[in-house]
């Protein structure tokens, strides 16, 4: 068992990373990162995503790091890579994962982060930490608000403004106090246009994709809002973005949630692992906000600053109007403009030249919809 599991933190201890937050940003040598990660040993591997593998490591001063070793195709010129990582490194917010530096030597491109002792939301909701329910309701609520604040900062305050493009449970990390740290923002910029990573990323992230992103491949802030809505449903219910109803039928979490919400059956939607211990009004709020975010029409989705306010309960009137809309107006569903993910596939099929989905992705979408 890799030693990082022993650092899983349950308490509300002070944030041990504070010293780094506004502290030194630096270039790491490959030698140093080899030493820290035991030469990128398999036992140190935290996981693998669309961009490469992530390894746990420990520096000479005892501090723990997570090192993302990018795949070979991310072989951007050293200078260009350095400039873009430095831009991301300057983005600082309490709910955005802090970059500590990078390494660009020869073919290697690595990014160094603070290690998050409580790993990701994914491990708590569906992974090896899900058996013990460390995410009580108040933690879930503060993770939802914190993650929303981090994304709102990217959309509205960061210079340059950043569209995340890959919001999902494995990209919401948890610090020692279980505060949300959104990771991997702006990553798509590090990868050359048209690189094959798109297939991998769409594959891994399908349940979170806004229909118009699946159809035209055009990322926008409202695609992030959609993905965040799916994430909120996951956080409230403990369900996965797509669930297998039978060997051949899969259902998206939004399609599961919408009819229940319309019938006000919110208590049936709470994660059973909570054992009924949640604040009813907050659960309802989280679900209604989630469904408003994950609706089909991008122009009807709220912007992230509104999402923060809605989640905090600061826009009570607006929230109750939205809730009433759910009950009385069926068109508030996911496919408001008559578009659905299935249509996206057919659009992509018809106009292969313009469509951003390749054959693999289309069959993947089909597979998920089957």
Which residues are known to be catalytic?
A: 166
Beta bridge partners of 69: 53, 110
Taking the least distance from each CB to Mg ion, the nearer of 49 and 101 is 49
Map residue 160 onto helix, strand or coil: coil
Interface positions, 167-196, toward ligand ATP (CB under 6 A): 170-171, 173, 183-184
Interface positions, 138-197, toward Mg ion (CB under 5 A): 171, 184
Size of the site for Mg ion (CB under 5 A): 3
Q: Is residue 66 at the binding interface for ligand ATP, with CB under 6 A as the rule?
A: yes
Q: How far apart are the first and last CA of the chain?
A: 38
The pair phi, psi for residue 149, each rounded to 5°, is -65, -40
Residue spans of beta strands (DSSP E) within the chain: 26-27, 45-48, 52-58, 64-70, 99-105, 108-114, 172-174, 180-182, 242-244, 250-252
* Contact mark string toward ligand ATP, 237..276, x via CB under 6 A: ----------------------------------------
Question: Which of ligand ATP, Mg ion, none lies near 37, with the C-beta cut-off 5 to 8 A by kind?
Answer: none
261: number of CA atoms within 13 Å, CB side? Answer: 31
> Does the annotation list 68 as a binding residue?
yes
Contact (Cβ atoms closer than 8 angstroms) between residue 235 and residue 253: no
Contact (Cβ atoms closer than 8 angstroms) between residue 89 and residue 15: no
Contact (Cβ atoms closer than 8 angstroms) between residue 145 and residue 102: no
Q: Is residue 101 at the binding interface for ligand ATP, with CB under 6 A as the rule?
A: no
Size of the site for ligand ATP (CB under 6 A): 25
Give the number of other Cβ atoms within 10 Å of residue 248's Cβ. Answer: 7
Choose, by CB under 5 A, the member of 46, 49, 67, 333 that binds Mg ion.
Answer: 49
SS3 track for 220-242: CHHHHHHHHHHHHHHHHHCCCCE
Give the range of 40-48, 214-222, 236-244, 276-284 binding ligand ATP by CB under 6 A: 40-48
Choose, by CB under 6 A, the member of 36, 54, 111, 365 that binds ligand ATP.
Answer: 54
Q: Binding site residues for ATP, as ranges? A: 68
Q: Binding site residues, as ranges? A: 68
Task: Give the interface with ligand ATP as residue ranges (CB under 6 A).
Answer: 46-51, 54, 66, 68, 97, 113, 115-116, 119-120, 122, 166, 170-171, 173, 183-184, 201, 204-205
């Amino acid at each position: 068992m890799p030693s990082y599991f022993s650092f899983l933190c349950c308490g509300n201890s002070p944030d041990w990373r504070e010293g780094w937050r506004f502290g030194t940003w630096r270039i790491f040598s490959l030698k140093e990162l080899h030493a820290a990660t035991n030469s990128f040993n398999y036992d140190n591997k935290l996981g693998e995503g669309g961009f490469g593998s992530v390894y746990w490591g420990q520096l000479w001063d005892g501090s723990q790091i997570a090192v993302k070793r990018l795949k070979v195709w991310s072989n951007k010129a050293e200078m260009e890579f350095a400039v873009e990582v430095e831009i991301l490194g300057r983005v600082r917010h309490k709910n955005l994962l802090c970059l500590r530096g990078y390494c660009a030597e020869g073919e290697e491109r690595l990014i160094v982060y603070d290690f998050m002792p409580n790993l990701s939301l994914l491990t708590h909701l569906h992974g090896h930490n899900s058996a013990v329910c460390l995410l009580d309701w108040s933690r879930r609520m503060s993770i939802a608000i914190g993650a929303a604040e981090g994304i709102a900062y990217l959309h509205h305050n960061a210079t340059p403004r950043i569209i995340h493009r890959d919001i999902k449970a494995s990209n919401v990390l948890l610090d020692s106090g279980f505060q949300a740290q959104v990771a991997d923002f702006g990553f798509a910029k590090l990868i050359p246009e048209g690189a094959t990573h798109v297939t991998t990323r769409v594959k891994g992230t399908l349940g979170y994709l806004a229909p118009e992103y699946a159809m035209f491949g055009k990322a926008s802030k409202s695609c992030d809002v959609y993905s965040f809505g799916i994430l909120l449903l996951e956080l409230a219910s403990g369900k996965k973005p797509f669930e297998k109803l039978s060997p051949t039928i899969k259902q998206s979490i939004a399609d599961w949630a919408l009819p229940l919400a319309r019938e006000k059956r919110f208590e049936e939607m709470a994660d059973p692992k909570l054992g009924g211990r949640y604040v009813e009004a907050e659960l309802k709020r989280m679900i209604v906000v989630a469904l408003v975010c994950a609706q089909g029409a991008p122009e009807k989705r709220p912007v992230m600053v509104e999402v923060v306010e809605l989640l905090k309960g600061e826009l009570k009137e607006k929230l109750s109007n939205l809730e009433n809309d759910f009950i009385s107006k069926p068109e508030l569903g996911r496919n408001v403009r008559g578009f659905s993910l299935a249509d996206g596939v057919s659009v992509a099929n018809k106009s292969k030249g313009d469509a951003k989905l390749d054959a693999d992705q289309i069959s993947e979408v089909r597979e998920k919809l089957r």
